[in-house]
Amino acid sequence: MIRIAKKEDLSEIINIYNESIPDRMATADTNEITTESRLEWFDEHQGQRPLWVYEENREIMGWLSLQNFYGRPAYQATAEISVYVKPKFKNKGIAKNLLSYALKECPKLNITTLIGFIFGHNAPSINLFSKFGFQQWGYLPKIARLDDLEKDLAIYGLRIPS
């Protein structure tokens, strides 16, 4: 089941995010974050920029968020997309289901363009987004430093059909 996240879900959302940090594939954070540090972030996801969770048997297995891109009025119809899945549930179609759901919801949210920032070495995410029609719109070589290694950042975009 996919549903809008509730405040009581935030600690599990943060746990899933923190579990993604050690593999250095999905986030530029290098240290765990706290639930308290994400309260404002959570509140920003009410309304036009939702945060959805994928849940089965009362367990949150993954989440997807949309957030404002660049914070300027001209980009109002563009959203940045992020998706995270609990490690033990990866490769079970959860990210695919979340992404499919978000794409269907975008027209209702007046979103015409999605942007995803993906590390160049994150082949699973690049493959997933590509299957949904996202294309590489930009590439920033060696922009991130993870464990003394320079990593590339790919920018993937998709125009939402109206």
Contact indicator for 143, 119 with CB cutoff of 8 Å = no
pLDDT value for 23:
86
Strand (E) positions, 48-93?
51-56, 59-68, 78-85
pLDDT value for 26:
86
pLDDT band at 40 (very low <50, low <70, confident <90, very high): very high
pLDDT over threshold 90, residue 9: yes
The terminus-to-terminus CA distance of the chain in angstroms comes to 25
Structure tokens at 62: 């993954």
Please give the Cα distance from 12 to 61 (Å, whole number): 9
At 136, which helix (H) or strand (E)? strand 135-146
pLDDT over threshold 80, residue 162: no
The DSSP 8-state label assigned to residue 119 in this structure reads E
- Dump pLDDT digits (tens) for 100-146: 999 999 999 999 999 999 999 999 999 999 999 999 999 999 999 98
- Dump pLDDT digits (tens) for 57-115: 999 999 999 999 988 999 999 999 999 999 999 999 999 999 999 999 999 999 999 99
What residue segments make up the domains of the chain, in order of their start?
A: 2-159
Classified by CATH at the fold level, domain 2-159 comes out as Aminopeptidase (3.40.630)
Residues in CB range of 149: below 8 A, 6 or more apart: none
Please give the Cα distance from 126 to 147 (Å, whole number): 22
What percent of the chain lies above the pLDDT cut of 70? 100
